[in-house]
Structure 1
Amino acid sequence: MQVDRDLDKVGVHCAIKDCNLLDFLPFICQGCQGQFCLEHKEEKEHKCPTPIVKIGGTTVTCDKCESILPVPVNCFEKDILSMHLRKGCPKKTTVNQHKCSFCPKMESIKIVCPNCKNNFCIKHRFERDHKCKPRVNPPLQQTISPHLQNLLSQLRNSKPVKTNS
């Protein structure tokens, strides 16, 4: 009959071989992606090889890394925490703190005065607020090695070379 063959194209048969029920609204298992009838939709009913862990409505927070961990149904918080610690809990990342050169305040960002090259908090970041004393650069003669000083003096005393252009 033509009608029976057309109905086979509309629905999906249950993936359980013994059932093979034609279902027009099959359930798709989130674990194994199989299509099942109402009777076999549960993971335990079709013996799902890759069941999905159902998450309960609770969570637990790790004290070390402050991660929020979901607690599956029928599990204890302490078991979830110990498993998290065994797998290698990432320790909490600390924010670098930079001490102000003018007051004891700490800032998470580094604010360096371009004039005196010291670090300051937001309140003392401007030169007028931290009584800025610019760093005095040593004279050029002190920063140059004696060998270079000798070469410079020779260049200053030498006669300019004329080029034919």
Structure 2
Amino acid sequence: MSASTTPPEASYTAMDRDVEAIGAHCEFAYCHQLDFLPFRCESCRHTFCLDHRSETAHKCPRAGEWAKNRRLNSIGKSSISGTSQGKPNLINATQCAETTCKTFVNTSQNLGVHCPQCNRTYCLKHRMREDHDCKNLTPLGARPIEITMQSNKEKLRIGFGRLKTWGKERQEALTPKPSPSSKSAQIAALNTLKKNAKGDDKLAPEKRVYLHVEAEAASTTAKLPKADLFFSADWSVGRMLDEAAKRLQVANMNNRVETEEQRLRVYHVEGGRLLEFGEKLGVCLANGNTVVLLRGVGPKEGGK
């Protein structure tokens, strides 16, 4: 189920397309994150991001209001149509999805609870995952696992192939031509890099690693395609990525995405490989190296 699809029994609803086009800021205290797929809480009527869309996540001051209103509406509809429909039955009502349960849900007496994991509706008694054996159920509307796994493998294969081709071309373009003055030229180039590089001025000079940082145009849209930056040698690659993406104004959603299509990774041109997020800059990189921010290339080959 995509993040923009709202379950019928949820306390929140995805906002309309016009809002999605420009996004909205999360109204949860200390968050205020700009979200291009915002949700509106049906209890307090405020707008929240994906992480704070549920009543529990944003500590809703009017928690349960949406359920109360829906129950009142349901009772009103039941009183109007009750004479024609009669008692709930398999024809005019919904039964709890637990196979042994005979309870009719979404009635004036019994509230139905939608399970977002298996995409089914249950009575209050079977609303918890362990009560309806949720882990062993195939979600309604889900693609078969075999097809999904094959699709993911194919995406990773394409990503690796694209990375290899791009990396080879990039390395050839950056390989310096041998010349008698190559050593002095490298020193001069490094001095120029140190002079122009931007970064946290509070970092001790002896702890700095000076790098050429680029954002590959085919995989991401950056307002600043490249820059000379410096970072702490003690920083991890993941922290460097966050800082570099911020300075290049590249959208970084690594803490929110679950698939590789939108995940940013760091490619080390001289080393010809993707860097692990936990590696230390002082160990895997050297002054004057070039790193590129790539999206949708998958984990490093052979990794999980």
TM-score (norm. length: structure 1): 0.30
TM-score (norm. length: structure 2): 0.17
Instruction: Determine which structure has greater relative contact order: mean sequence separation of CA pairs < 8 Å that are 6+ residues apart, divided by chain length.
Output: 2
Rg: which structure is higher? Answer: 1
